[in-house]
Amino acid sequence: MKTKGRRLLEISGKEEIARETGADFWTGKTSCWETCHCPPSIKNECPVSTYTFLPCWEIEGTFCKLQKHGAIVTGTDTSICAICRIYKKYGGGRAIELKLSGKGIDSAMNHRQGRKG
């Protein structure tokens, strides 16, 4: 089992490699924001359009994963992913695992409101 720090370093490394090589999960695929017809206000705030080296189901805090628990907003509920047409089309039946944390809408909302998730 990887520690959170090690996972973040691993993701940082992947992000750096992706930038250098131009790697993009969505190359040759119809992106989730296109398929779901997300308006620009949602697409621009959602981390999927920024961190394109990962599929949407591996990114915490995407618009579709957001849930409110009292005053805290979380973006970790991947149950929606299991039934999503994007995951079904591109997920290859692999287990859904969040690989990028702390960069999503949930983190930004909680930070602006001075809350920790």
Single-letter code of the amino acid located at 114: G
Q: Is the pLDDT of residue 71 over 60?
A: yes
How far is the C-alpha of 47 from the C-alpha of 98, rounded, in Å? 13
Q: Is residue 31 part of a domain?
A: yes
Residue 65 lies in a domain: yes
75 assigned to some structural domain:
yes
Q: State residue 1's pLDDT score.
A: 47
Residue-wise pLDDT for 15-44, tens only, equals: 665 555 557 999 999 999 999 999 999 999
pLDDT tens, residue by residue, 77-86: 999 999 999 9
- Cα–Cα distance measured from residue 38 to residue 63, given in angstroms and rounded to the nearest whole number: 10
pTM for the whole structure: 0.77
pLDDT at 103 over 50: yes
- Total structural domains within the chain: 1
CB atoms within 10 A of CB 95: 6
Q: Is residue 117 part of a domain?
A: no
Say if 23 falls within a structural domain. yes
Between 3 and 24, whose confidence is greater? 24
CA distance 23 to 25: 7
Burial class (CB in 10 A: 0-12, 13-18, 19+), 22: exposed
Confidence band of 117 (pLDDT split at 50, 70, 90): low
Q: Where in the sequence is the domain holding 107, given as residue range(s)?
A: 4-112
Decide if 82 is inside a domain: yes
HSE of 106, CA atoms in CB hemisphere, 13 A:
23
Q: How many degrees, rounded to 5, is the angle at CA 83 between CA 80 and CA 89?
A: 120
Q: Cα–Cα distance between 15 and 21 in angstroms, integer?
A: 10
